[in-house]
Structures are given as C-alpha cells and as structure tokens.
Amino acid sequence: DDAAGLRAVEGLARREGVELTALAYATLIREASEPEEASRLLREALALRTEHAAPLVACADVAAARGDAALAGVVMEHFQESASPLVAAALVRLTAKGMLAGQDPDAAVLDLYQKHLQGSPVLAELRGPSVRIVAEAALRR
C-alpha cells in the first residue's frame, strides 16, 4: 500500500532527523488519511520557512477532493505566505466550487479577487481556467 510506504518513509526520516522538503510534505498531505492530518502536515511545512506553494496546493487539492471547507479555510489563511499563482489558482477553484463561498460562489470569487488578487503580482501570472472563473463570475453579477 502506497500510503503505508509513505508513512514508513516519513517515520524513518523523523527518527533519523532528516528534514522533509516542501515536495515531500505535499506528497504526505495528498496521502493524509484525515483532514486534520493534512492540516498538521501543512503547519509543519509552513514552519520550515521554505517554499510553501507545493504543500498549500496539495492541501487545496485534498480539501476539494474531500469537500472539506475547514481545510480550504486553512489554505486561504496561509495564501499570503506563498505569493504563488499556483496557490491563487487553487483558491479560485475552491471558491468557485463553494468551498470558501458560503451561499454565493460568484460573490465569493469576486471578493477573493478584490481582497487578495487585485494589485498583486500573482494576478499577472494567473492563467487559463482561473482567469475564466473570475471573468465569468463578474459577468454573472
């Protein structure tokens, strides 16, 4: 089982004092058995002061796959720490799916755009579906 193998490698790394990389954390987050475990692993990854985009995108993917709004909120809470177009795109997708939206996903997408993306260097790097989601939300309003 892949998950058991990952846990064994994680345990060995921790016992030997090997610091996990951002990509290693992203892999562990994707294989987390519970949202709480994914959130814990994300907090550990963020504490490393390394690149945060991969663990945040992994956490967003897990939140979307499991329909976990609390986990999506954790990603939103730490978005500014990444300044990554990949994380911004993941947040746009989560918001459009209603994970961060409450009752009105279009209003939430536009709120995300206005509060966190507008004027940000990240905005210039957003591509494809994320831009379309924001534009379509604006057109429907």
Give pLDDT tens digits for 71-114: 998 998 888 777 788 999 999 998 988 877 777 889 999 999 99
**Is residue 61's pLDDT more than 90?**
yes
Query: Angle at which helices 85-96 and 69-77 pack, to 10 degrees?
Result: 150
Domain extent at residue 11: 2-140
Phi, then psi, of 102 in degrees rounded to 5: 70, -135
Number of domains within the chain: 1
Distance CA 120, CA 103 (A): 26
pLDDT of residue 1: 66
Give the pLDDT confidence of 13-53 residue by residue, as tens digits.
778 888 888 899 999 999 998 889 999 999 999 998 778 89
**Residue 124: band (very low, low, confident or very high) from pLDDT cuts 50, 70, 90:** confident
Secondary structure (DSSP) of the chain: -HHHHHHHHHHHHHHHTPPPPHHHHHHHHHT-SSHHHHHHHHHHHHHTTS--HHHHHHHHHHHHHHT-HHHHHHHHHTGGGT--HHHHHHHHHHHHTTTTTTT-HHHHHHHHIIIIITT-TTGGG--HHHHHHHHHHHHH-
Across 58-67, average pLDDT = 92
pLDDT for 56 equals: 94
Query: What is the pLDDT averaged over residues 131-138?
Result: 91
Q: What is the pLDDT of residue 107?
A: 92
Residue-level pLDDT at 52: 85
